[in-house]
Amino acid sequence: MGDVNEVVIIGSGPAGLTAAIYAARAGLEPLVIEGYGAGGQLMITTDVENYPGFPDGVEGPEVMQLFRRQAERFGTRFITADVSRVDFSQRPYRVWVGDDEHAGNAVIVSTGASAKWLGIEGEQRMMGRGVSACATCDGFFFKDKPVVVVGGGDTAMEEAIYLTRMCESVTIVHRRHEFRASAIMAKRALENPKISVRWNSVVEDVEGDQVVTGVKVRDTETGVEDVIPAAAMFVAIGHQPNTSLFEGLLDMDDEGYLVTAPDSTYTNVAGVFACGDVQDTVYRQAVTAAGSGCMAAIDAERWLEAQEAGAHDHAGASASAD
Amino acid sequence: MADVIEITSDTFQGLVLESEKPVLVDFWAPWCGPCRMIAPVIEEIARDREDIVVGKVNVDDAPGIAQQYGIQGIPFIGLFQGGQLVKNAVGAMPRAGIEQALGLS
C-alpha cells in the first residue's frame, strides 16, 4: 500500500470533479479515479443549454474539460482507469484499480448512472448494427433513413430532435400516454414535423438479420402488434445507478441508488460520502450533481477535521493519564 | 512504444490490409463522445503493445471504409489480420473489455 490519501474520489462527472475542486482548494490533494468513462454522461451530450454560466449553450465534453482543468489547477491527481473493488471495512479505506491499491481516509463516491437497455433479445443481437444508445455517435450512419427512438424523458426528446437533422423521419415509441420530459423539450419534439409518436406502445422485438429493418411494437391498450420500418432503434429509457461495486457495502434502495442521510452526503459508512446521480432519484441534473459534489467535499473535510480533533483529544487524554 | 497512426481512405489498403502485423483500427468521429472517452485507452494500447499496429480512422473523412465493413455504431474497434476484419468491439468499454473482445488478452 502506498501513501494514504486524505480523500479518494471515485468518478469524474460534474459531482466528482466539483468535489475534487472543493477538496483540492481545502488542501486535501484529492485523488480522482476517473474511470474509462471519464467525464460521465455529459461526455455523450452534445448541447448543454441549462448549465448556468453558458448563455449560448456549451458542448458536454467541453464543459467537462473545463471542470477537469479547474480541479487540476488546485492539485487534484487523476488515474484514468476503473475501480475494480473497494474495502470499507476498516480505515483507511481501500480502493483497487486492478492490482494497484489506493488508500483514503475518506472516500467520495460519484460513479453516476448509465443508460438502461430494454433487455429484449433483438436489442443485444443488433447492438452496433442499428441498435444504439447514442444518437450523436451513430445518427450519422442513418442519413435519410427512418429511425425509432424509445423513451419519453428529456434524453429521448433530445435524441429524437437531434436525429431529425439527418434522418428521414423519427418515430418516438413511448409506453405511456404522455411524456415525462420537461415541457420545453416535449413541445420541441411534438412540434417537429419529422417526429411522430406511438403512445402507449412497447417494443417487442427488433427486426432484421444483418441490419435493422424494423421495430416491432405492441399497443398496450389494444394489444395490436405491428412493425415500424426503421434502419435503427435508439434506446433512451432512463438510467440506472452504477453501484455494483458497493453491493453489500453501502446501503441502497430497491433500484440500487445509494442512500444518503437527509440534507447531507453521508452514507451508512462513516467517512464514505456519495454525490451526484448515483444517489439522486429525483433531479439528476448536471448542476444538481455539481451541487451535491460540493456538499460531499465539505462533508468530507469537516468529517476529517473531526476525526483529527478526536485523535488529538484521545492522545491528550492518554498522555495525562500517564 | 508507438503512437496511434492516422489512417485515411488512401492509406487504408497499405497500412491495414497489407500489414504484416495484426492491426487494431479505432473507427471514430470528433462528434462522438464515447469515442473521445476511449481515445486515451487506444493510445495506451498503442504504447504498450509491440505485437500489433494501432491506428484510427475518422469515419467523417472516410465514410467509404465504414460502409464497406457495415459499421453502424462507433466507437467501432476492429482487428484486421491478413487483410480481413477478424474481430470487433462496439461502444466504449474498458481496456480489458476491448482486448478480450479482440482476442488480445
Residue A47: predicted pLDDT? 77
Does residue B82 belong to the interface with chain A, where contact is any CB pair within 8 Å? no
Which one of B32, B48, B67, B72 makes the best mutation probe of the A interface by having the most chain A beta carbons within 10 Å? B72
Q: Are residues A24 and A86 in the same domain?
A: yes
Distances (CA, A) of A108 to A13, A197, A209: 12, 41, 45
Greatest CA separation for chain A? 84
Mean pLDDT (chain A) is 93
Assess whether B35 carries a catalytic annotation.
yes
Please state, in angstroms and rounded to a whole number, the distance separating the CA atoms of residues A182 and A193.
19
Residue A322: predicted pLDDT? 43
Q: Which of A39, A81, A138 sits opposite B74 (nearest CB)?
A: A138
Lowest average pLDDT, out of A147-161, A168-182, A226-240, B37-51, goes to: B37-51
Q: Are residues A176 and A231 in the same domain?
A: yes
- Is A317 a residue whose pLDDT tops 70? no
Query: What percentage of chain A carries pLDDT values higher than 70?
Result: 96
Strands (DSSP E) contained in A118-207 are 131-132, 146-150, 169-173, 195-198, 201-207
Which one of B35, B37, B47 makes the best mutation probe of the A interface by having the most chain A beta carbons within 10 Å? B37
- Count of beta carbons in the 10 Å neighbourhood of residue A54: 15
Residue A321 confidence class, pLDDT cut points 50, 70, 90: very low
Strands (DSSP E) contained in B21-100 are 23-28, 53-58, 76-81, 84-90
Domain span at A160: 117-235
Last residue of a domain, one of A190, A215, A235: A235
Q: Which of A37, A127, A136 sits opposite B92 (nearest CB)?
A: A37
Number of folded domains that form chain A? 2
Residue A314: predicted pLDDT? 61
Residue A60: predicted pLDDT? 86
Which triple of cell numbers denotes residue A319? Answer: 498522555
Q: Are B65 and B93 in contact (CB under 8 A)?
A: no
Q: Are residues A65 and A99 in the same domain?
A: yes
Residue A2: predicted pLDDT? 62
Whichever domain contains B34, its CATH number is 3.40.30.10
Residue A315: predicted pLDDT? 57
Domain span at B28: 5-101
Does residue A80 belong to the interface with chain B, where contact is any CB pair within 8 Å? yes
- Is A1 a residue whose pLDDT tops 70? no
- Is A205 a residue whose pLDDT tops 50? yes
Q: Are A59 and A49 in contact (CB under 8 A)?
A: no
Residue A136 confidence class, pLDDT cut points 50, 70, 90: confident
Q: Are A211 and A142 in contact (CB under 8 A)?
A: no
Residue with cell 472543493: A22
In chain A, what residues touch B93 (CB-CB under 8 Å)? Answer: 36
Q: Are residues A40 and A186 in the same domain?
A: no
When pLDDT is averaged across residues A99-107 and rounded to a whole number, the result is 97
- Is A319 a residue whose pLDDT tops 50? no
When pLDDT is averaged across residues A164-169 and rounded to a whole number, the result is 97
Residue A124: predicted pLDDT? 83
Q: Are residues A108 and A9 in the same domain?
A: yes
CB pair distance less than 8 Å for A128 and B76: yes
In chain B, what residues touch A211 (CB-CB under 8 Å)? Answer: 70, 72
Whichever domain contains A170, its CATH number is 3.50.50.60
Number of folded domains that form chain B? 1
CB pair distance less than 8 Å for A46 and B35: no
Does residue B76 belong to the interface with chain A, where contact is any CB pair within 8 Å? yes
Question: When comparing pLDDT for A322 and B42, which is higher?
Answer: B42
Does residue B7 belong to the interface with chain A, where contact is any CB pair within 8 Å? no
A70-92 pLDDT, tens digit each? 999 999 999 988 899 999 999 99
